[in-house]
Amino acid sequence: MEKGLLVVLSAPSGGGKGTIVKELLARNRNVRLSVSATTRAPRPGEENGVHYFFTTREDFLAQIESGGMLEHAEYVGNLYGTPKAPVDQWREAGIDVILEIEVQGGRQIKSVAPDCVSIFLLPPSLPVLEERLRGRGTEPEETVQKRLLAAREEIPHARDYDYIVVNDTVEEAVENIESILRAERLKSARGEKVIERILTSC
């Protein structure tokens, strides 16, 4: 059984990450999305183990202490992180695991799991990103401008990722990510077993 890939996926806010991950999961039964842990309270409709693993600050800190978190960060008083155990279990079962994560978290993952595959999802242009942010119709103009500014600061970090996928259409972006996963499974560094199997096949 070939070990599954660990895939770090980052994008500026409004980059359309959610839609693309949803489509990618729908099309590939062998790909799962990692569920984050958080100390914040569940919002209405959020289920434990589905949207987040809801946990106490004490438990969360104990998990960090014991090396049980792949990465973690604090936002407005709440801790967020990626529990290591489910990721490892899925990968051992040959399943590719996607971590939807921001730039800082992506960097932490790369340092503890250098074999991870990192993908940065870019909007086709800043005007398109602005349109998409505004198109939601739910955000006040001030928030849109704040997100645009944040995106402008995040985009240069794409250089630190292995791959850049431009989110022009969902279809094309998903196909590009599928090609990346397929190609990564063919990397010779992952092919030692294949070579052994063929050489001992007579």
Whether 165 and 11 have beta carbons less than 8 Å apart is answered as no
Which of the ranges 27-35, 50-58, 74-82, 177-185 carries the binding residues for a copy of itself, by CB under 8 A?
A: 177-185
Looking at residues 140 to 159 of the shown chain, list those that interact with a copy of itself (rule: CB under 8 A): 152, 155-156, 158-159
d(CA 132, CA 181): 27
CA distances from 161 to 36, 104, 155 (A): 21, 12, 11
Which token pair is 110? 């790369």
Q: How far is the CB of 193 from a copy of itself (least distance, A)?
A: 10
Of 92 and 160, nearer to a copy of itself (C-beta) is: 160
Chain center to CA of 118: 8
Q: What are phi and psi of 25, to 5 degrees?
A: -70, -40
Whether 12 and 149 have beta carbons less than 8 Å apart is answered as no
Of 89 and 125, nearer to a copy of itself (C-beta) is: 125
d(CA 35, CA 59): 16
Euclidean distance between the first and the last CA atom of the chain, given in angstroms as a whole number: 21
Q: How far is the CB of 6 from a copy of itself (least distance, A)?
A: 16
Any contact of residue 183 with a copy of itself (CB under 8 A)?
A: yes
Per-residue x/- track, 26-65, a copy of itself (CB under 8 A): ----------------------------------------
Any contact of residue 1 with a copy of itself (CB under 8 A)?
A: no
d(CA 156, CA 139): 25
- CA nearest 117: which of 148, 161, 67? 161
Q: How far is the CB of 74 from a copy of itself (least distance, A)?
A: 28
Q: How far is the CB of 160 from a copy of itself (least distance, A)?
A: 8
Binding residue for a copy of itself (CB under 8 A) from 19, 56, 89, 125?
125
Contact residues: a copy of itself, CB under 8 A: 120, 122-127, 130, 152, 155-156, 158-166, 176, 178-180, 182-184, 186-188, 191-192, 194-195, 197-199, 201-202
